[in-house]
Structure 1
Amino acid sequence: MNPRQASSITRQRLVLGNWKMHGNQADNATLLSALAQGVQAGGTEVGVCVPFPYLAQAQQALSGSTVSWGAQDVSAQEQGAFTGEVSGAMLTDFACRWVLVGHSERRSLHAETDAQVADKAKAALAAGLTPVVCVGETLAEREADDTLAVIARQLAPVLALGAPAVSRMVLAYEPVWAIGTGRTASPEQAQDVHAAIRQSLEQLGAGGVRVLYGGSVKAASAASLFAMPDIDGGLVGGASLVADEFLRIAAA
């Protein structure tokens, strides 16, 4: 599949950092300060998704800057006897804008199903958050030429929520074989999957949804990835913990 022509809809670029289970208050303060000072208004939108204990710190450090913040997971439940869970209302209490749902590590380590991911996305929307719905295939699935079938299966219950709901989301394609491995899908490989996702969104009537690429994104690879017509930015893991590297990715 060749990179197709981009949609006529203008989509603002977005780069989100996912700190995963990293950070401490001292290091966070340095990183957040650098981001608050280094990201200028206009152009690419920038945000960070931090561990739950650091949401208050992110809110305090980034309020008044052009950098937004969010969380890495959310409960599908509004409240109740769900020890260890964090609700959407709790996240909005810290002025979060984003929340990751369905990250591959949640799917693999916590056995989250496609239906549960859709339920979490729905709960996030109900709380006024923007869910960043992650999808992606394993190396075995790619080698079996099942990539597009896997992505379609993962997206099905999310798309079933309907265009009005999906239009308020962000999607992120993160090939599992490229996460934390140092391997990155080539721009053409990533574009092929993004184009298929875009086609599904357009058929739904939600063609303006931003679709990010995630998977060992580095400053050196960002420009070529972001040049693809259906890649609207990046979901950045390890590189988001290094201010200079993350700012260079955003600048790409």
Structure 2
Amino acid sequence: MKYIIANFKMNATEELINHFLNNLISFDEQKLTIGLAPGDLYLKTFVDLSQTKKVKLYAQNPSAYSKGPYTGQISCLQLLDSNIKNTLVGHSEIRIDCSQSIIDQKTKICMDLLDQVIICIGEPLDVYEQKKSLSFVLSQLANVINYKGLKKIIIAYEPIWAIGTNLTLDLKHINHMIEGIKTYLYNCTGLNIPILYGGSVNANNIKELCTQKLIDGFLIGNASLDVNNFNQIINACK
């Protein structure tokens, strides 16, 4: 199974989401899971259409709390009330304003209550340049391995320095990181947890990335906003 997840971040409109879902090419559900994180405002609106199109909907940033006086936040219980059962957690753009402790709280409650949790990890440029990338991202998973619901998780490795850039892919580094993450998780949990890659994945580099057997799928940002580009990515992964 390969996973191809579109993260619209804060770029969505109803028109864009409708166009995206209605123009996706067909795919084999037994081989591909296609997901969309459209922005939490639009999740309930597109539950029915996404199910018709066989696309999983994902929240982008659930609260670390199940309920209470947390103005502007959305809890996992509220997501479930809207029939949303999957989420991203810990994206680097969220981590700017959240401590690792809060990310861990979010992750734990999501793993307790939801069906699938994509945990985003990644290192900044200075850590990469110091060749400390693997130890850095494993520290982001140090508490996760002790939580219940480990079969629900997918890891998305996104080097922060590669997100939203046109930097040349370092396939050797990507493979080193994904192999290290897989080995760590297997040694700690006994599970083969899927690892996605994110970081300027697009229609131009997807074929090269698909040759890397350790990668279980992709978390795609800007390139997912154009459904034609996204369809090219799906085709490359078939």
Q: TM-score, normalised by structure 1?
A: 0.88
Q: Provide the secondary structure at the position in 2 that maps to 1:22.
A: coil
The offset of 1:248, in angstroms, is 1.6
Residues paired across the two proteins, number: 236
The offset of 1:39, in angstroms, is 3.7
Structure 2: which 5+ residue stretches go unaligned? Answer: none
Aligned-residue RMSD, C-alpha: 1.6
Moved more, 176-185 or 142-151: 176-185
The offset of 1:58, in angstroms, is 2.3
Whole-Å separation in 1 of the counterparts to 2:219 and 2:35: 10
Matching residue's letter, 1:55 = L
Matching residue's letter, 1:127 = L
The offset of 1:125, in angstroms, is 1.9
Whole-Å separation in 2 of the counterparts to 1:67 and 1:184: 30
1:19 corresponds to 2:5? no
Moved more, 85-94 or 12-21: 85-94
The offset of 1:206, in angstroms, is 4.0
Whole-Å separation in 1 of the counterparts to 2:3 and 2:89: 17
Residue identity (%): 29
**Higher RCO structure, 1 or 2 (CA under 8 Å, sep 6+):** 1
1:56 corresponds to 2:40? no
Whole-Å separation in 2 of the counterparts to 1:114 and 1:160: 15
Matching residue's letter, 1:175 = P
Counterpart in the other structure of 1:5: none
1:192 corresponds to 2:176? yes
1:178 corresponds to 2:162? yes
1:222 to 200, 206, 213: 206
* Residues 180/123 of structure 1: CA separation in 2 closer, same or farther (3 Å cut): same
Q: Do the aligned partners of 1:44 and 1:251 also contact (CA within 8 Å) in 2?
A: no
Moved more, 240-249 or 199-208: 199-208
Matching residue's letter, 1:29 = N
Whole-Å separation in 2 of the counterparts to 1:192 and 1:121: 25
The offset of 1:184, in angstroms, is 5.0
2:109 to 123, 126, 148: 123
* Residues 251/206 of structure 1: CA separation in 2 closer, same or farther (3 Å cut): farther
2:141 to 139, 152, 155: 155
Map Cα deviations across residues 203-234 of structure 1 (whole Å, 9 max, x no partner): 01343211100000012212222322321000
Map Cα deviations across residues 25-78 of structure 1 (whole Å, 9 max, x no partner): 22221112112x544433211100111111123213212222111110111111
The offset of 1:168, in angstroms, is 1.5
Whole-Å separation in 1 of the counterparts to 2:191 and 2:207: 23
1:223-242 correspondence runs (5 A): 223-242=207-226
1:245 to 224, 229, 232: 229
Matching residue's letter, 1:117 = I
Q: Provide the secondary structure at the position in 1 that maps to 2:58.
A: strand
The offset of 1:88, in angstroms, is 0.6
The offset of 1:148, in angstroms, is 1.1
1:75 corresponds to 2:63? yes
Q: Do the aligned partners of 2:121 and 2:158 also contact (CA within 8 Å) in 1?
A: yes
Moved more, 213-222 or 113-122: 113-122
Structure 1: which 5+ residue stretches go unaligned? Answer: 1-11
